[in-house]
Amino acid sequence: MLKAIEAYLALRRATGFAMLNAEYLLKSFAAFATERGQTHVHTQTAIDWAARGPSVAQRDARLKVVCRFVRHVRVEDARHELPPLNHFGARKTRRSPHIYSGAEINRIIEAALRLRPKGGLRSHTYATLIALLSVTGFRISEALKLTVADVTCDGLLIRETKFRKTRLAPLHDTAAAGLERYLARRQPRSETDPVFVDARGLPLRYLAVKETFDTLVKSAGVVAAGKRRPRLHDLRHTFAVRALQDGPEARDRSGAHMAALATYMGHVNIYATYWYLEATADLMREVAAAGEGFLIDGRQS
């Protein structure tokens, strides 16, 4: 079984998946099965192993890792049994993101420009970073890994990201100009320097950015529905929603628009992009108007 696992991991990695957690779990399962004298996946063994997870969500995740492996390996060896995918009955939940309005983003950026020390680089660093995240939908890790060499005349080069892919992300002229102004103030010493740095000239750390952003959100008076605080990651959700709203109205062009959005955001499939979309009042009004037009006179948009 271990040989089949290694071949499966190699194939998945060749298509861009890191598979670090899957490798750990599959090798753990293989050891568990070997203790029972088994060389193929047996449903009850997979369930017993997955049940060792401390929570329903983790037990479900462990079993699904085995299921994905079995669906691959059964093509060549039907002796592997496919466990029931939803045996533990777990349901994946999604925290509702806060979709920032343009005014809210402007207030957060203005709050960043007031960061101390007054007139120092820190305020411009955070203002530029937040502005960049809001207009590109980058993962925060992607923005923090940017080096001066990654800033090109054709856009930003996003290297070795979540799925070990490298992509070129074009920037609007205003965004490119804002980044150029920041770098002129920043005055990096070499092409390998990070774009965004702290007071010591070291790459910004995620934890520091998150804590500062939370402070800026509070200072800007941005409040989400319910008790949950607007998050830094919600800027990525906001970008996806606004890109959908600003997309072409023609139905035959919407599919190409979504595919382009998925590529720009660095997703390996369109389903990951759907995860970032959220129904907003403006979007629902547009859907209602399109539906009404179709029902009244058969118009299609």
Per the residue annotation, which of 139, 159, 165, 210 is the catalytic one? 139
Check if 172 is active-site.
no
Write down the pLDDT at residue 231. Answer: 94
For the chain, list the domains and their CATH numbers: 2-73 (no CATH), 102-230 (1.10.443.10), 235-297 (no CATH)
Measured between its terminal Cα atoms, the distance across the chain in Å is 53
Check if 264 is active-site.
no
Virtual CA dihedral for 240, 20, 209, 136, nearest 10 degrees?
-20
Check if 233 is active-site.
yes
Write down the pLDDT at residue 189. Answer: 93
Q: Spell 205-220 as b/e; 16+ CB within 10 A means b.
A: eeeebeebbeebbeeb
Per the residue annotation, which of 68, 87, 165, 233 is the catalytic one? 233
Check if 100 is active-site.
no
What string of pLDDT tens digits covers the 301 residues of the chain?
A: 999 999 999 999 888 788 889 999 999 999 999 999 999 999 999 999 999 999 999 999 999 999 999 999 999 999 999 999 999 988 877 678 899 999 999 999 999 999 999 889 999 999 999 999 999 999 999 999 999 999 999 999 998 776 667 899 999 999 999 999 999 999 999 999 999 999 999 999 999 999 999 999 999 999 987 767 899 999 999 998 888 777 666 555 566 667 787 878 887 676 666 666 655 556 556 555 656 665 676 555 4
Write down the pLDDT at residue 163. Answer: 60
Per the residue annotation, which of 62, 236, 237, 242 is the catalytic one? 236
204 in Cβ contact with 144 (< 8 Å)? yes
Write down the pLDDT at residue 233. Answer: 93
Strand order across the 151-152 sheet = 151-152, 155-158, 167-169
Write down the pLDDT at residue 290. Answer: 59
Per the residue annotation, which of 42, 124, 162, 257 is the catalytic one? 162
Per the residue annotation, which of 100, 126, 182, 276 is the catalytic one? 276
Residues pairing with 152 in the sheet: 155
Compute the distance between CA of residue 157 and CA of residue 29 in angstroms, rounded to an integer: 39
Compute the distance between CA of residue 272 and CA of residue 236 in angstroms, rounded to an integer: 12
Write down the pLDDT at residue 270. Answer: 63
Check if 236 is active-site.
yes
Check if 218 is active-site.
no
Per the residue annotation, which of 64, 98, 145, 267 is the catalytic one? 267
Burial of 276 (0-12, 13-18, 19+ CB in 10 A): buried
